Structure formats: structure tokens, C-alpha cells
Structure 1
Amino acid sequence: MGKYHDDAEKLLTYVGGKENIAAVTHCATRMRFVLNDQSKADEKAIDDIASVKGMFTNAGQFQVIIGNDVSSFYNDFTAVSGIEGVSKEQSKSIAKNNQNLVQRAIGTLAEIFTPLLPAIIVGGLMLGLRNFLEGVPLGFLGDQTITQASTFWNGVNGFLWLPCEAIFHFLPVGITWSITRKMGTTQILGIVLGITLVSPQLLNAYSVSSTSAADILQNYTWDFGFFTIEKIGYQAQVIPAMLAGFLLVYLERFFRKWIPEAVSMIFVPLFSLLPTILAAHMVLGPIGWQIGSGISWVVNAGLTSPLNWLFGFIFGGLYAPLVITGLHHTTLAIDSQLVADFGSTNLWPMIMLSNIAQGTAVFAIWFLHRGNKKEEQVSVPATISAYMGVTEPAMFGINLKYVYPFVAAMIGSAFGGMLITATNTRALGIGVGGLPGFLSFKIENYPMVFLSMALTIVITFVFTLILRKVKFLNKLEPDLALVDAGNVSETATTEATVATPSAVSATEETLYAPADGQVIAITEVSDPVFSQKMMGDGFAVQPTDGTVYAPVAGTISSIFETKHAIGILTPGGAEVLVHMGLDTVELKGAPFEITVAEGDTVTPDTKIAVMNLDAVTAAGKQTDILTVFTNAEKVNQLSLAKTGTVQAKDQIGSATLN
């Protein structure tokens, strides 16, 4: 009988039995189920299983977090259930059966735009800076702008247009590349297609409205004798690029299936790319332009109508639930189109305020539960990340768990959205969400932006305190509902006092950088299981070298079969997981070389593995090396004294153990 036999039996029962499991697999930390009927899963009972550290649903998969001993749990589960596991990719494929057509479309849209977000966000910040430099007369400069008064800053302003143009005007290149990347076809063809939509020999999309039909006919037309094609560019256009990108993908798939492999390198690209370029400029581009312009016109009309305050209230309040469903990804395309058509967007400001509301709700929970050290490990970084525009840790780690802060954040966001929309306060583009979002507005809009932020913060905080007393919104604190904050503080003080004796006998583990690179907080890791600390607290290194050293002193307790993760037990009893790369379990060990064995004693000078960074990147995976304390109850506090650039074996922080 295996170590997890009893827990595996319970999990099998609570997920609805063998007949409810369509597929099961595991990664480094999670059991991944595709269930025929997810409503049969008893989440409360599953959460009470000793081995289970949490659960969530993503992309049609019901994922149960076990920890770094998940492979042993998986073996016991397959023995108990008699179900043979499938590969992770097979599981994802089966999971699509649990998604309807809309969910699949939204998932595809998300996977297209997500890789583009870093560029879009930094581009928004640079546009905001350029707006300040060239558009704000300052009294101490004699009512001149900074660019008028300073040659240096005028040069900076001009230089910054280079990346801004590349990001926003050439956005179709990023879209067509991302589509081919997501769909698994030839990415360079997607890049070439995108360039043909924004080539300098085409009439710039921003100049079309000011160019006469006669001028277009004479100077911007390909004449084939019996028909002509207008040389119109699609700078910043989203829909034309998406239509062209998907046509390229499906043509390549079709021709790759029928053209012999011996000549496929020549004829598949030729027959896929040229017809797509032709169709893009003759049919798809003009149609996509009209569709995109129509959508942005409708949205803009609603946001500038006499009832825009109602639209702002509804959208502001409902944006957070859209994030849960994934529908929020559709707003990226609309925002981009609004900026392309009108030079600004009044949709994104409400998204910015929704981020702030989620952060404020978590801050209110910290205030109510102050003294709860374990929760602070989630609430404090979640508040900071939400205020900086990343709301998932706040929403999934705290607000949805308690429910009432999530509802309070919706209310605060609704009122903030109503105010900023009713005053027609528009952003110049998509920027960093949360508090730094003001940089995306014109300077004359700052007073209303800050007023909307303040209104959102105040209403969210107050309603979090009020809704805590509403019993049907407060299922996790039945004994605390209908009590005031003073009693909570007294309780927290008592808990802190009780915890003091264990703190006296606490031990400390020194943390070291496992590789050369950039140290980041675990909340910045893109995998929500790690960033939301479902596995425990820790840190990550974005490596520049693939040699991996032990981040703590201890004994090697486990080495995963797929070589991507190693467990270390410290002398103080901490269980530390060293996880190399994200979602690298499916690489089946190919990019990894393990240089230690189970039972070996290691120090920060011990090389424990070598990761082929190029191979991991080529497989489309991130190379982050994570150090996670998986027995969270053992860790009282973890702090990083050093972040940013480090060398392997540098001392970077400490963890205090109970």
C-alpha cells in the first residue's frame, strides 16, 4: 500500500468516481483532471484531504495541488483508480471538450494577445512620457513645453517615437506572428505577412482619410491591367491582421498535408504566403478594417452618449467577473482599435480602476485580519501587484476566497468607472494598470484621473467593511460576521501573542541564488500556482546561465523522473522545491542534466543540475528557476535582502522557520 493510498481513494471518490474522469495526468505540483461533469466534484471535501494544498479550474482542467511529491501521489491514484494517465498535451486536448465555442475562441484570443502585452504596456508608458514632454507647457519654463525648452529632451522625445511606432503602428506584425506561434505553423511566414500589411511602400493607414481618391488611384495602386489593388497600409489595425493570420495558418496546414515532403519547404510557403497577401489586400483587409471600425464606433458611441455614465457603471462593475471567465481578453482588441480610430480610448481607464479596486479590497482584508502572519504572505504582495496592474493574485488568492471583498471591489470599480466615463476622461493608449495608469493620460486629465482613483479606493474600502457583516457574502468568517473591526483587532492581537513563544524558538535558513540572472519575487512568476503562493512562499531567478546550484543547505529528498524539479530537505525541516522552468514537465527531461542523487548532502556550492536554456526556450517554455518552501506551515517569514542581478551562490535572503 502506497504512502498516499488513503488520500488517493478519497480524491477518487470526491471527484465523482472513476466514471467521472475523462483523463488524468500530473505536472510538477498538480494532479490535472478532465472531468465529465465538474459539478460532481466536492471541492470542500477535497480541500479537507491532508495531502491537498488547493485547487482551481483552468482551460477545462480541474487541477488539484499536491506539492513536490505529486508523482508518488499520482502513482497511488492510478493504482487505486485503475485509470491509465495521459500526456499533458493529450489532457489539454481532451479538456477542450469541456469548453464551448465561445470559451475556445476567447482562449485563442488570449493566447494571441498575451505574448504582446509586455510590448503594449511599455509602449503605453512611453507614449505617456512623450505626451508630458511635448504637450505640457510649464510656467517655470516660460509656458514652453520641455521639448521646446531643452534640446536634450527634444531628442529623447524623438527617439522614443522609434519603439512606440514599432509597437503600435507595426502591431499587425506582432499579431500575425503570435497567431502562427499559437497555431503551431511557421512563425517567420507570420512575420513576413505582418510586414506586408505595414510596408513603407503602402499609404499609411493614418493618412487614408486625408488622401483623395484620385491621389490613391495615381500613386497608391497596383495596376494588373484588368484589375487594380489599392496600396493601403493597415498600421495599428487588429481585425485585418487577425483575419490574414488565420488564413495563412489554415492554408499552410492544408498544403503541408497534400504537398510531398521532398518539396514542401519550397511550395508550402509559396502557396500559403502569396495567396494570403493577395487576399489580405483585396478582401480581408478592407473587410476587417470596416468590422474593426464598426466595433470601435459602436463602443465609442456608447461611451460618449448621454448614457455613458450608465455604461461606465456597468462595465466598471463587471470587468472583474470578465477576468474570471477570460472574456476580458476581448477588450485588448477593442482598446487597440479605439486608439487606432480615435487616438485615445475610454475603455481602458475603467480597467485601470478595476485593478485599483481589487488591490484596495485586499488591503482592507489585511486591515481587518492584521496580525494573521500566514495570510499576510499572500495579501501584502497581492495588494502591491494589483496596484501595479496584475490582479490575479488579489482576486484568486484573497477576494474570491472571502467573496465579500470581491463584491466590494466591483462596487468601487463601478462608481469609479461611472465618474471617469461621464467626464469623458480618455487614455492615450493601453498602459500599466493600477496606480501608475495616470501616465497614460494627458496632463490636463490628471485631476479627474486622481479623483476617480480616490473615489474607487474609498468606496471599495468602506464596502469591504460593510459587506463583511452580510452573512450570505461571508461564508469563511461566520463567527466574525456582524462584529466590528475593533474585535477583529483584539483577536488578531491575541493570535499574535500566542504565536510569540514559537517565534522565540524559530530557526533561520539562509537563501542563495541558484543561478546567474535576475532575482524576482515569486508573485511575479507567470504561473498562478506559484505566483499566488498556492505551493508556498519563495522566489525565482530568471537565469542567464544554465548551471543550477542548491539555494539552501540540506539533503536531496527527491528527484523528479522528468528531471525538471528537485526536492531538498533542510536541517530545520523545511521542504524546498527547486523547479527549473515553467510547464517543463512535458519536455520529459531532455533539456536537464541532474548532477546529484537522492540522499546527497548539498550546500550552496553544490551544482545540482544543468538546464539547457536554449532548448527550453525553443520549446516555447519560460526558463525561470523557482525556489519554493512547500510546507508553508513551517515558514514564519521569508524575506529577500537582494533582488535584481545576482551571481550564483550569492546570499540573497532568509526564511524564518517555526
Structure 2
Amino acid sequence: MAKITKEAVETIVEAVGGNDNIETVTHCVTRLRFVLYDEEKVDKEKLTNLDLVRGAFASGGQYQVVIGQGTVDKVYKELMSVTGRSEESGGRAGDGDSENDTADKQKSGKKQNAFQRFIRLLADIFIPILPAIITAGLLLGLNNLLTGPGIFFDDAVIDVYPQWTGISEIIFIIANASFNFLPVLIGWSAVRRFGGSPLLGIVLGLIFVHPQLLSAYAYGDASANNEVPTWDLFGWNVEQVGYQGQVLPVLVASYVLAQIEMFLRKRIADSIQVLLVAPIALLVTGFFTFIIIGPVTFGLGNAITDFFLWTFDQYAWLGGLLYGLLYAPLVITGLHHTFLAVDLQLTASTDGTFLWPILALSNIAQGSAAVGIMILAWRDQNMRGLAGSAGLSAYLGVTEPALFGVNLQYRFPFFCALISSAIAATFISINNVLAFAVGVGGIPGIFSIRPPDWGAFFIGMLIVIILPIVLTYLYGRIRKVEI
């Protein structure tokens, strides 16, 4: 791993045009995201020649520099120190409050169209809570090893060794918390992103999962039996329904809450804001949510779920082929964040998601293509090291170093990976492979797959491990590509 030094970070700043050319800078899981005044000033060659940098590209009004998972946090902190900016917002020191943070997001939004701004919005909301969701998926996979029959024995481990039952139940509680209280996580992140108080977002999420409400997981049976409890509001029957595991209701309600809060703060004297702002904002949002937002978005979320279910039920091979072919390009454009909400909706309201297993295979395919480049560049120590580490990163679920640092640089490995991913995705879709949770999108992702589907998913993994390496190597040799 490249050493993080002040000099290397200063070189990054110089390569993007200097500190004066940086309007704002933030980061996600793997990349530094610059909003620059003039992207023409970027010295891409100087930037990509740094050992710290795995790739660089412009997208959606931002100039993104791929560093790598874990390392990007340290590089970002050093960059803040070098440029004299605030870590909270990425602006100049002293710009660290939430309103400035929202303003910084809006600066890059000025360079984006409406659709790009929407995708950026989803990314800003879901990226901060991804660690909790991925951790929950991994722990559910661990619990799956203990409770799934036919893995180690004909019966589940807890049936063969009952003394493991308590351990399994504790693991499940720890793992399931993030999904059961998903509205709390989304409420915190979304209200913060919309410019409101994160604490109010947490309270809003807690309202959504209040134990006095009928659980969203029990709504289907209760509705079928005409047993959904209601409030009588002056003759208007409002269903007493919670929104466990739901995405759309809390997203819309968070926006409404943040707008009401900001509206009140501008018009109520500072001395009495603590007495009026939060109670009024929560009360209005709460009533509006239970009466209108909740029912409408709950129905919309179910409609989206039904659409994907129908598509993969009627045309499984076509759905798998297209998603397997297009997922990596979606990562490049940032559109893949849209489907995280769909995955969460599917896992909350059905037996599992058929989209996420394809994601895992797509990541593995890009990693294998990078390994193919590593083999072709065996005599080039620098490229061999870069491609090897990028491939390993993709195998473990972080695909950006392989995508931007290796595969897109030579192009043909990227397309070899797409072909392989499409073939594997078609196969697992025909075999109805489902993931019961969102986990690590690479080889460890098999632990998030339902045990009955392990065989088909394993065959899919073999396809995306072997085929991209073979295709990349053969194309490079036959076309005599210079690496």
C-alpha cells in the first residue's frame, strides 16, 4: 500500500489545479470528490502517476480521484490539513455547519442536470449508512451458517448442537437491528442531507418503527384479514402502520421535516426556538406522514417492488442479462446508488433480492479482468502491483480501483468483464438466486445468499472468476496490446 505523506497529498492538490481551483472537496467510500472552478487546469498524468491514486475522471459536475477504501479517509484528512479546509463540509476552515454542508452540495449541483442531482442526492444519503447495512448483511450471513439446514449437516447447526441456539439468536438481534430500524438510519442521514437537524431525523425514524404501530412486516396478513388497526380522526380512518425496513416513506418525510424546520428557524426568535421548532416540525410531519406520505409512498414502494418481481418472474434471463451487462456502467455514472433503495425494499417485503447477487458477480468480474491485466503485465512491476491489488479489492467488494485504475484505462478488460458478468447474471437469474440481505459485493457475498441458492451462485462465481481472466489474456495476446 502506498504511503500517505504530506508531499503526496500536496501533489494531488497541485495536480487538480491548486487550492484556489478547488471549490469544495468531499469523499465517499473510495474516492475524493472535487468540485473545481476549472477542470481544464487538471494535470491528469501527474495525478495518476502518484502511487496513492488508482484513477481519476470527471463525472456529474465533479472531478473524482480514486484512492481506495480505508486509505481515502486518511488522505482526505491530510488534504484538509494541507488546504486549510473544514472536514465537515470540505470548504474553507470555519464552514463546518450543516447549512454550509448543504450549500457545498448545491455548488456541485449547479453543474449537474436534474437527474444527476437526484442520483447525487441518493448517494449522499445512502453512502454514510452503508457500513451499517453491509455489517448487518455479513452478520446475517454468519447467522445463516448456524441456522441454515444442509450446509454442514442435513439439519441446521443449532438443531444438531442446541447449545449454539443462544449465540445464533444474539447474532440475529445484532444483525437484524440495522434492517428493522432502517428508517432511523435513513432519517438521520436524509434530514442531515436536506439541511435539517440529524437528531430530529433520528426521532422521525423512531416514530416510524414505534412498537405501538402495526409492523410493516405484518401488514400484508393483517390487511388480508381486514385487521389493520386505525385511528378515527374526525371520521377519517387512518391506518396505524409502521414502516420497518421501508425506504420511500422516510425519505419523503425527512425532506418535509427538514423544510419545515428550516422554515421555522428563520421566523422564530432564537430564545424560544428550543420550545417551538422541534415540536411543531415533528407534529406537522408526523400527522402529514401517517395521513398522506406513508400510505402513498408505501403503495409506490410496493408498486416498484412488484414491477421488478414481474420482470424477473416473466423474463428472468433478460433481466439478468441486462442488469449484469449494465451494472458496471451504472457504477461509472453513479446510477447504481438508485438500486440500493430497490434492494432494501425487496429484502424488506419479499423473500430476498435478485438484484444484489448480480452486483456481487459484476464486482468479481471486474476484479478478474484486472487480474488478467496483471498476468499480461507480469514484467511491469508497477502495473502488476496496481492490477493485482485492484483485483483483490474488487474480489472483496470495492470495484472502483479495478474499474478506474486498470480496466477503463485499457478498455478491453472492462468489456471482457461485462460479457462475463452478463453470462453469469443470466444463469443465476434463471435459477432464481436470491440474497436475504445486502452484504459485501464480492466473493464474501455468498454468505448473504440463501443456502438453497449457494450451488447456482457458486457456479456464477466460477464464471466471473475464470472467464474475464481468460478473455482479457487472450484478447491482449492476440491483439498484442502493449501494457
Q: TM-score range by the shorter chain?
A: 0.7 to 0.9
Identity across the alignment (%): 36
- Given that residues 34 and 91 in structure 1 are in contact (C-alpha distance below 8 angstroms), is that contact kept between their aligned partners in structure 2? no
Decide whether aligned partners of structure 1 residues 11 and 419 sit closer, same or farther in structure 2, where only a CA change above 3 A counts: closer
In structure 2, what residue type is equivalent to 1:288? Answer: T
Say which SS state the counterpart of residue 222 (structure 2) adopts: coil
Offset, 1:381: 1.9
Corresponding residue of 2:61: 60
Corresponding residue of 1:437: 445
Decide whether aligned partners of structure 1 residues 213 and 433 sit closer, same or farther in structure 2, where only a CA change above 3 A counts: closer
Q: Report the Cα distance in structure 2 between the residues aligned to 1:451 and 1:59, rounded to whole angstroms.
A: 36
- Given that residues 173 and 191 in structure 1 are in contact (C-alpha distance below 8 angstroms), is that contact kept between their aligned partners in structure 2? yes
In structure 1, what residue type is equivalent to 2:430? Answer: A
Corresponding residue of 1:565: none
Q: Report the Cα distance in structure 1 between the residues aligned to 2:318 and 2:167, rounded to whole angstroms.
A: 41
Corresponding residue of 2:123: 110
In structure 2, what residue type is equivalent to 1:181? Answer: R
Offset, 1:366: 0.7
Q: Which of 168, 172, 176 is 1:161 aligned to? A: 172
Larger RCO: 1 or 2 (CA < 8 Å, sep 6+): 2
Corresponding residue of 2:356: 348
Q: Which moved more, 1:390-399 or 1:46-55?
A: 46-55
Offset, 1:91: 6.9
What per-residue deviation string (whole Å, max 9, x for no partner) do you get for residues 338-372 of structure 1? 11121211001110000100110111111111132
Corresponding residue of 2:6: none
Q: Which of 132, 140, 150 is 2:161 aligned to? A: 150
Q: Report the Cα distance in structure 2 between the residues aligned to 1:273 and 1:470, rounded to whole angstroms.
A: 65
Q: Which moved more, 1:175-184 or 1:447-456?
A: 175-184
Say which SS state the counterpart of residue 57 (structure 2) adopts: strand
In structure 1, what residue type is equivalent to 2:283? Answer: L
Corresponding residue of 2:138: 125
Decide whether aligned partners of structure 1 residues 470 and 298 sit closer, same or farther in structure 2, where only a CA change above 3 A counts: farther
Corresponding residue of 1:184: 195
Corresponding residue of 2:273: 264
- Given that residues 24 and 31 in structure 1 are in contact (C-alpha distance below 8 angstroms), is that contact kept between their aligned partners in structure 2? no
Which has the greater radius of gyration? 1
TM-score by length of 2: 0.81
Corresponding residue of 2:416: 408
What per-residue deviation string (whole Å, max 9, x for no partner) do you get for residues 270-301 of structure 1? 11111111111111111111111111111111
In structure 1, what residue type is equivalent to 2:203? Answer: V
Offset, 1:111: 1.2
Corresponding residue of 1:645: none
Offset, 1:132: 3.1
Decide whether aligned partners of structure 1 residues 419 and 49 sit closer, same or farther in structure 2, where only a CA change above 3 A counts: closer
Corresponding residue of 1:238: 247
- Identify unmatched segments of 5+ residues in structure 2: 1-10, 27-31, 67-74, 84-90
Matched, 1:452 2:454: no
Q: Report the Cα distance in structure 1 between the residues aligned to 2:356 and 2:79, rounded to whole angstroms.
A: 41
Decide whether aligned partners of structure 1 residues 470 and 174 sit closer, same or farther in structure 2, where only a CA change above 3 A counts: farther
Decide whether aligned partners of structure 1 residues 169 and 260 sit closer, same or farther in structure 2, where only a CA change above 3 A counts: same
Say which SS state the counterpart of residue 266 (structure 2) adopts: helix
Q: Report the Cα distance in structure 1 between the residues aligned to 2:278 and 2:148, rounded to whole angstroms.
A: 46
Corresponding residue of 2:403: 395
In structure 1, what residue type is equivalent to 2:260? Answer: L
Which has more helix, going by share of residues? 2
The alignment's C-alpha RMSD in Å is 3.5
Which has more strand, going by share of residues? 1
In structure 1, what residue type is equivalent to 2:304? Answer: I
Corresponding residue of 1:383: 391
Q: Aligned runs of 1:16-31 on 2, under 5 Å?
A: 24-25=22-23
- Given that residues 26 and 70 in structure 1 are in contact (C-alpha distance below 8 angstroms), is that contact kept between their aligned partners in structure 2? no
Q: Report the Cα distance in structure 2 between the residues aligned to 1:213 and 1:420, rounded to whole angstroms.
A: 33
Q: Report the Cα distance in structure 2 between the residues aligned to 1:346 and 1:210, rounded to whole angstroms.
A: 24
Q: Report the Cα distance in structure 2 between the residues aligned to 1:308 and 1:64, rounded to whole angstroms.
A: 36
Q: Which of 305, 310, 319 is 2:318 aligned to? A: 310
Decide whether aligned partners of structure 1 residues 42 and 184 sit closer, same or farther in structure 2, where only a CA change above 3 A counts: closer
Say which SS state the counterpart of residue 439 (structure 2) adopts: coil
Corresponding residue of 2:72: none
What per-residue deviation string (whole Å, max 9, x for no partner) do you get for residues 86-129 of structure 1? 88977764332211111111111011111211121121122223
